[in-house]
Structure 1
């Protein structure tokens, strides 16, 4: 009994604070990455993992599937009645004020609930060795968290550098007022995001490009590291491309995906009217505007449990990203599955691939058209490109090695506490 108590005292206490819950069927790439890495920590018997996380209504059915080794404190937006009205009223500032210090992703209601959970943990005598803040929205809350656990080490998991995404929204804004508001939001988020990062002991980005961006903006090189984002390895055992299907794959409730799919449908597909091609848009919760475009040449699938069949037969994947920041996991998944990828600067950023060797770089509609026509005619031998791409992903995006290095870096923080 005495020996067990000693072992319990020696376990590392790691507190995660996240804007979503970790479960195997996570609906988006960031959720899958979070699930992979928190489980790698939870499955180490020398760790005690505690989690505070927001739960969305469509995630509730997965609560029981969360790793039982993780102690959960869950928060959610009130669904009905007076509590919902009060929540909405007090959260107006957090939703619409471009200078709101925690960004506009999570409402004040959620931050208030998170703080209540922190208070409960503190009253229970819980003292974490390390606090991992998952996503920028949680990173921005660091000052409040530190009031409860001032002696912990702090890690920021930056799925993407959010102020870069805000910069792109500002640059693409039209109209004086819209541009002015987005410029204010960008300046505010950049200030608060960098300020919060500098309060951390370690910041992990999900690609090398974002690490370089943070260093360029004054973040100490020594406190930065890179982890590989989780990506599904689809069971594409044999590729049989039909030279007909152009696919786009991603969560369609995210504006960067839906606007990109619409752009391709409006600007590239008409240029291929004489070709027997289809544009297949794969992803959950497509917006009404996208659904209204569906016809015999534009297929909108909605959620697909296993897109392997589409990957097996697709001629190529086209991803003309217009917005967003950070690494695009859908690009890694397509490259690793042997699907030829056509994408632009935003789509390929953070991925160490070479144009013409592992993917095709396209910016303008005519560039997408030209590559697709060459694939159809056989002028381009895609087997060489896809073979190169699969080898590159295997060599440079090894999840097991990344997980091991991440854990070692965090454990080193625990050992250095008080030094």
Structure 2
């Protein structure tokens, strides 16, 4: 008999999803859906848009218990996420900083409808947002096993925002306590790097409940011999994300422009929605914003290095993995390299200050063998440490073990 696994996710995913986290969920969901040992179902709250329709078509062999979001909730959500309501409501309940209360209620409504004709063996709560409906889901499905798929340990990112005075410390503390208490109730917690696993162990979350799986990443360098080290500096990432806007703006304002690197390099930003910064910095020569690129392989194959000056967020950065896998020397911060066991100067370059970026970039330009050496070491490290195919096998076995432990 097939094992029933039900996924709750705040996001629709499919093969053309742009976000790294979406691609990771898409890979593992596809793996389960194509596995004859499982019967897979999912719940998405959707707007009947392209992403949902594409997901529904792609996963047509799965049970779809998704619910269309009513217009009034979509209007409320706009104000919640964009007009500061989340900051106000988070004082009442810290989970509202990340997820709208009306969305949570709709997920619970969907679960109650499912209960009447479907009982899953395992429920996977994809992303931290879904962790917050666990108490209600436990009442609805008392005999199911629960898995939290933590794409990153979210309270780490909240604490960093608090240190930058972007949120209040009191709210960050409440959020941390709540996230940890819910994780302790999980039968299994999925993480994307061993550093997060070690962090959770410090808060008395049992190691046998923790499983580190590889995030999905694209291979942008099919043939290593095709790699060309030019004078192009690459940044790769969706430019609708605040951390990417901050990273690119910081690099241009603190490194590329003041050090006049445009005389020696080109700087190419590959990623959708870059119009804001493109217009802001249109006076700087040799600065290019490509917008969305269907296949960015050429940029990875023909760049000198990748820069990723990331100063906020938590969890592993897939853009860094993809750069390293493409044999690019990656210049990034401690936060940018978090969760990757690379060695400074050997398989990446640690750069927290503008002058460090400047010095490393000049060294790479003057010594292409240095770029080749660090890039080669980086590629070997990623091939060794990150195999999402092997991760699925471990993930599957953990799920089967949970079910068999009834």
Q: Aligning the two structures, in what range does the TM-score lie when normalised by the shorter sequence? A: over 0.9
Alpha carbon RMSD of aligned pairs, Å? 2.1
- Aligned 1:262-411 pairs, distance under 5 A: 262-273=249-260, 275-286=263-274, 288-289=276-277, 291-294=279-282, 295-378=284-367, 381-411=370-400
Aligned to 2:185: 199
Secondary structure at the residue paired with 1:102?
helix
Structure 2: segments with no counterpart, 5+ residues: none
Is the contact made by 1:90 and 1:109 (CA closer than 8 Å) also made in structure 2?
no
1:255 pairs with one of 242, 245, 253: 242
Aligned to 1:127: 119
Q: Given the superposition, is the C-alpha separation of residues 12 and 109 from structure 1 closer, same or farther in structure 2, using an over 3 Å criterion?
A: same
1:284 offset after TM fit, Å?
A: 1.6
- Aligned 1:38-77 pairs, distance under 5 A: 38-55=29-46, 57=49, 59-77=51-69
Q: Given the superposition, is the C-alpha separation of residues 377 and 87 from structure 1 closer, same or farther in structure 2, using an over 3 Å criterion?
A: closer
Secondary structure at the residue paired with 2:97?
coil
Is the contact made by 2:248 and 2:309 (CA closer than 8 Å) also made in structure 1?
yes
* TM-score normalised over the length of structure 2: 0.92
2:136 pairs with one of 131, 139, 144: 144
Is the contact made by 2:310 and 2:332 (CA closer than 8 Å) also made in structure 1?
yes
Structure 1: segments with no counterpart, 5+ residues: 1-9
Aligned to 1:185: 171
1:286 offset after TM fit, Å?
A: 3.0
Is the contact made by 2:119 and 2:141 (CA closer than 8 Å) also made in structure 1?
yes
Answering whether residue 6 of structure 2 is matched by residue 15 of structure 1, we say yes
User: Aligned partners of 2:244 and 2:110: how far apart in 1?
Assistant: 34
1:31 pairs with one of 15, 18, 22: 22
2:110 pairs with one of 111, 117, 121: 117
Aligned to 1:102: 95
Runs of 4+ in 1 over 4 A off after TM superposition: 82-95
User: Aligned partners of 1:58 and 1:296: how far apart in 2?
Assistant: 37
User: Aligned partners of 1:205 and 1:232: how far apart in 2?
Assistant: 19
1:231 pairs with one of 217, 228, 247: 217
Is the contact made by 2:94 and 2:171 (CA closer than 8 Å) also made in structure 1?
no
Is the contact made by 1:77 and 1:87 (CA closer than 8 Å) also made in structure 2?
no
Size of the alignment, in residue pairs? 398
User: Aligned partners of 2:80 and 2:269: how far apart in 1?
Assistant: 38
1:187 offset after TM fit, Å?
A: 1.1
1:198 offset after TM fit, Å?
A: 0.8
1:339 offset after TM fit, Å?
A: 1.2
Further displaced range: 196-205 or 277-286 = 277-286
User: Aligned partners of 1:90 and 1:20: how far apart in 2?
Assistant: 17
User: Aligned partners of 1:143 and 1:150: how far apart in 2?
Assistant: 10
Q: Deviations over 1:185-221 (max 9, x none)?
A: 2112101110110110111111001111111122111
User: Aligned partners of 1:267 and 1:259: how far apart in 2?
Assistant: 12
Is the contact made by 2:255 and 2:354 (CA closer than 8 Å) also made in structure 1?
yes
Is the contact made by 1:236 and 1:312 (CA closer than 8 Å) also made in structure 2?
no
